[in-house]
Amino acid sequence: MFMRLLAFALILPMLAACSSLKETDTGRTATEQMLHSTAADRAAQQLALAIPPDTAVFVDERYVEGQDSKYAVAAIRDRILRRGARLVEERGQAEMAVELRLGALAIDDNNTLFGMPDFGVPIPLAGNVNLPEIPLFKKRTRQGVIKLAATTLDVKTGSLVQAGDPVYGFAQKTDWGLLIFFSWSDNDLMPGEQNQWVGR
């Protein structure tokens, strides 16, 4: 058994070439950030805000937390400005306040693999040797998901002006692998770059 594993480990590098993509030098990948921000943009565009033009609006973000939440808030502020309102930085300067809340801002990661996953093989006197993954078919889908809602209040009276239903935004990137040598991806993150093919 040991000899078979050793022979497999020696032959494997001759059977498969490899390629790699260096996505980032920071703690997070560009893909992760694009999934979050694209989903936030799409959700913000769905907000139906009943705010008359030239209304002074204060955006209350006390109930917004989480990674990339500042971008989500900025996307909503942009939406309010595009509808003709004016943003103010103090609640007392506003005629209306828009209270924001986030129900989700995260990434779902789903992996499917037909083939051999990577695993370690113990070698006497040498420790573990990690054998790489050998995919006959592989699919990895990452989907950015955001759920947000906004409630509009009259600043002077504190009474409700509008309570909208939550809106949802999604963004996805799927990576495929076939027979070790071929890989490609599709996404809806950047216009004109939905499909990327890589031959190994």
Domains of the chain: 28-121+129-199 (3.40.50)
Answering whether pTM is above 0.85, one says no
- Give the chain's end-to-end CA distance (angstroms, integer): 31
CB 175 within 8 A of CB 135: no
Measured distance CA(87)–CA(81) in Å, rounded: 7
- Written as tens digits, the pLDDT of the chain (200 aa) is 444 444 444 444 444 445 555 554 567 889 999 999 999 999 999 998 889 999 999 999 998 988 889 999 999 999 999 999 999 999 999 999 999 999 999 999 999 998 888 877 788 777 788 877 788 899 999 999 999 999 999 999 999 999 989 999 999 999 999 887 888 999 999 776 555 555 44
The pLDDT assigned to 192 comes to 64
pLDDT reported for residue 66:
84
Q: Is residue 135 within 8 Å of 180, Cβ to Cβ?
A: yes
Per-residue pLDDT, 71: 95
